[in-house]
Chain A
Amino acid sequence: MVQSVAASAAVPRGMLIADAWAQLGDAVAPLSNASGRPLARTVKLILDPLVLRPTQNPRFAGGVVGVEHVDALRAAIRDAGPALAATAAWFQLVKKARRRAGVTEGHPQDLYFQRCFELAHLHGDPRSAAGAAGVAAEAVAEVHAERGEVTVDRLRGFVTDPTRAIELAGLLRTAWEDRAGETQAPAPQAGLTEFLDGCAIKPDEHLWKSLGRYRVGTAEAAGLDRPGVAREFGLTGRERPVPPEIGDRASKRQLPRPFDRSIMERLFAAFTAVFQRESMADIPSLVVGEIHRSAAAWQLADEPGRVTMALGRDASAGLGELADNVPASDANARLLRRWQRESYVHRVLRLPDAEAPGVPEELREDVRHVRGAYLRRLWARLHGRELRGEATPADAVWDLLDGVLRSVVMDQRDRLRRVLERHGGRA
C-alpha cells in the first residue's frame, strides 16, 4: 500500500499509523475501534505524546509524513508494539478492577490510558507480572481517591461557615477595591491578529510567549468595565461587572453568566464539569484563589488564559451576525465557516428552526447571540484549566478556540432536539 503512493513526496500520517497499527494485531484491540483503527484517544493520549512525540520529532508531525520518514514512523510504532500490547492488557485489567470497585465516574480512556502505559513500562505485560490484578485495583483506587478529595459538600461547608463568612467577604471587598485603583495601560500593538492568522496551521510559539510576557491579555481586558462591553460579550447580564457574592448554593442548571456567578457557583461549575479534580488545590486555597481571580482581568488568574480570551473575542467577531463580514484573521474565518456549515447541517439533520415560535426564548437568544455563548464557554474552559493548573501551549490554542464553538453548536443541537421531544415529533 505504501509503495503505491511512494511516488508522491508525502504519505498521510493517518494511513501510516493505521497500517503500522494493523501489524500489531489483536493484542492492541482494546485500544482500537470497531474498524481496527487506533481510537482517537489512543492517538491523542498514547501514540502522539508517548510514542511518536511530534514536538520532539517534527518529521512525524502534520497531516502528511515525508516519504523518507515513512520507515522511521513505522518502526517507532512497531518497536512500541510490546509496550502497546501490554498497555492494552493493563487497560482490560483496570477496567475489570474498576467494575469490581463499582466506579462509574469519569471517562476510562481519559483516566487510565496513560496510567496503563506507565504500568506497561513498570511491570511489562500484566499476564506475566505477579500480582497484576492487585496493581490494577490500586491504580483504580488511586485515581478514585484523589478525585474524592474535593467535594461540593466540603466546599459548601467551608463558604457557609459563619466564622469564615466575614473573613471571606472582607477578602472579596479588598480584592475589588484594589482593582478599582488599578490603572489599565492602553492596549499595546497586540499581535493578536497575527497569532490568529497562524494558530490553526502553524502556531507561532515565539509570538504566543511574547503575548503573555507583554500581558496583552490583561491590557485587552481594560474595555470590559466600560458600560455594556462585558454584557455584549455575553459574560454578564449587567451593564458592567460587579463584585460577585460568596454564595451558598449552586445548581448545574441555570448557572448565571460567568461574571455574575458567585464564588461558590464558579467553583461548583468547575467541579462538576471537569474531571481530574486531583490536580486541584485544597478547599481554602481554592476559595481564596477564586476571590482574587474574580477581581482580575477577564476574571482569570493567569496571563495565557487572558490572552486566550482576547484571542477568542477577536476570533469570534461577527459570529451569528447576518452581515457578510470580512474576516479579520484566518481563525476568525474558520470559526465563521464552522457556523455557516452548521446552518447547512441543521437543514440536513432536520433540526428545529431556533426562530420557531415554540422554541423557548432563552434558547433562541443563545442561538441568536452565539458569540456570547461562545465566549461564556471559552471562559469556563479556561477557568477549569486554571483550577487544574493545566498549561496552555501555543499549539493547544486553536483546538481550544475551535473546540469551544463545536461544543456550543452540539449543545444547541441537543437543546433543540429536546424542544421537539417536549412538543411533539420524534427527535
Chain B
Amino acid sequence: MTDFSIERDDSGIRVGSLPPHPERTALVEARGALLAWDVLDPHAHPAADIHDPDLAADWLWEIYGPEAASAVLSGASRIATVEETGAEVEAQAESGSTPGPGSNPGPGSGPESGPGSEPGPESEPGPEANLGPGARPESDPGPDPGRESTTPVLAAARALAHLRWAEAWWPSSHEAAVPALSIPLLRAEIAWRTAGIEHLLDDEEAVERALNLDLGPLTALESDPVLGTEALALAENLTELAEDYGVALQTAPARFSPEDWALAAGGAEAGDLVLGGGATPVDWALVPQGLVDGAGEARWTLAHRGGVQMLTVAVPAAPNAVGVGVGPTAREVRPSTGEVAPGTSEFGPNTGGAASGAGEIGPIGFGAALTARIGTAEIGLHHDPNTGFFTGEAQAPQGFLMLPGSDRILRVFAPAFAIGTAAAEPDGPARRAAIIAFAQARLTTAGASLAERAAARGIGA
C-alpha cells in the first residue's frame, strides 16, 4: 500500500511528490501528465504531475487502478494504491517476448478484481538483493522492486522509465565496479517498452523515434548462452515493430569490446617536485553519462618542473567511455558476442586523423572532452587511452599556492554539455553513493533489464 497526497491548483494536479533529484528520477512523459518513479524507492506506483486531467483521464486508471484514478480526478486529497505480487502477470510483463494482446490480462485485472490484494514485501534494493542471478527463480516475484507492479501497462511504463534513467544516469565506474551498459541494448529495450505503452505517451511519434537504433549489438547477443533466447525474441519483436511503423532498422556489425579495467595513475611525472595537490568528486550534472568514472575524483597536482610551476589535472574515464578520441584501442574476438576485427576503429573517421599526439586526440574544430577549472586556470583535458584518464596540464597562474583553499577547488565539466558554473552541492557525494549502490544491486537483480544483465556478464558498451 502506498499513500499519495494530492495537491491541486490552476496548473494541474500533483499526485505524491516528484523525486527530489534528477539522478533519482525515472520518468515517463505521458499524455497530460509526467509520471516519475524514484529509483531508490521500491514502490510500484509513480508520483504524477498532471497538467491536463482531461487527457490523463484516458489512461490514468491503468497506472493507479480505476478507483484511485477516479479519486485523483474527482477531488480526493489523498489516495492509496495497492500493490499486488501477482506472479503470473509479472512473468508476462517482464519477459522480453510479451505475449500478444489476446493472452494479456485485460483491463479487468485491475487491483479491485485481482486475486488478493496483500501488498508485497517491500524492501530496499540493498544487500539482500546481492544473491546473484541464480539465487531467485524467474517466477518468484521476490522482494525486487521491479517485479511488484500489477498491470502490464504499469510494469511496462515503469520499465521504460527505468531504462531511460539508466540511459541518463547509469554510474559506470571502474572504482565502484559498475560496468558500462550497452547503449544500443538499452535503446532496443526502450523501443520495445515504448511500443508497449504508446497509447498513453505524449509524443505521437515516440515509437518511430525510439526505433532509430542499431540492432547490431542485440543480434550479436543472440549467441549468448544465457541471454540469447531473450535477445532473439526482442530482435524479432523489434523487426516486426519496425515494419508496422515503416522504420528501416539499422544493423551495424556488432562491436562489443571487452571491458578495459586497466588503471594507471595520472598526475605528476617522475622527477617533478610536488608542491601541492587536491581532489574533488566530479559533479554528474556537469558531464554526460558514461564519460567520467561515476565514482571518480578529479585530482590536481602542482609541481616544479624545469623552473616553472605546472598544474596537472587527471580525471578517471568511465569504463568504455565513448567520445571523440576516447575509447579502447585493443580488440579481441569474443566468441559469445560475435567477431570484432582487431584494430578496427569504433568511432569512425573522426578519431584517426585528428590525432596530434598520444592522448591529445580532440574533435575537429573543437577543444577537449573535458575542461578543468581551478583558481583562474582553465585546462583542457584529453583522454589518454593508455592510462584511462583524462589529463591535461598548464602553467600555474601567478601566486597559485597563495590562494585560499576555497579558491583552489577543482571543477571539471564537459564543454559540450554544461556551462560549468554551477556550485557544488554539499550532499552530492552521498547522493551519488546511493545511486552507485542502486546500480550495483541492479546488476544482480533477476528482473533487471537485458542491458543490465548483459553488463553483469561482461557484455557492455
Contacts and interface: CB of A to CB of B under 8 A. Distances in A.
B417 A358 contact: yes
B164 A356 contact: no
A157 interface: no
A345 B70 contact: no
B289 A426 contact: yes
Given A35-B104, A423-B416, A12 B61 contact: yes
Given A29-B102, A108-B245, A352-B418, A34 B196 contact: yes
Contacts, number: 238
Contacts of B454: none
A88 to B, nearest CB: 11
A29 B167 CA distance: 31
Interface string A176-188: 0000000000000
Contacts of B69: 12
Interface string A33-76: 11111111001000000000000000000111000000000000
B60 interface: yes
A36 B151 CA distance: 12
Nearest to A426: B290
Contact of A35 (B56, B101, B102, B202): B101
Interface residues of B, number: 92
Contacts of A206: none
Contacts of A160: none
Interface stretch (A99-107, A122-130, A134-142, A250-258): A99-107
A25 B416 contact: no
Q: How large is the interface on A (under 10, 10 to 19, 20 to 34, 35 or more residues)?
A: 35 or more
Interface string A331-367: 0011001000100110111101101111100000000
B289 A350 contact: yes
A34 B240 CA distance: 12
Given A4-B66, A22-B107, A356-B416, A33 B288 contact: no
Interface in A383-427: 403, 406, 410, 414, 419-420, 422-427
A14 interface: yes
A63 B153 contact: no
A37 B153 contact: yes
A424 B101 contact: no
Given A108-B243, A348-B168, A337 B27 contact: no
B202 A18 contact: no
A39 B102 contact: no
Nearest to B318: A426
B66 A35 contact: no
A109 B245 contact: yes
Given A62-B54, A356-B419, A345 B107 contact: no
A426 B346 CA distance: 13
Interface string A373-387: 000000000000000
A22 B70 contact: no
A427 B285 CA distance: 14
Interface in B156-170: 156, 164, 167-169
B106 A18 contact: yes
A171 to B, nearest CB: 37
Given A107-B246, A108-B243, A357-B415, A33 B291 contact: no
11 contacts: A1-B110, A19-B106, A33-B199, A35-B199, A350-B285, A350-B288, A420-B288, A422-B324, A424-B370, A424-B416, A426-B289
Given A8-B74, A62-B54, A426-B321, 17 more contacts: A4-B110, A4-B112, A4-B113, A34-B195, A37-B101, A109-B245, A333-B11, A356-B419, A356-B420, A358-B417, A359-B416, A410-B205, A410-B209, A422-B324, A424-B288, A424-B414, A426-B323
Q: Which 6 A-B pairs have the closest CB atoms?
A: A424-B323, A425-B288, A36-B101, A358-B416, A426-B290, A26-B102
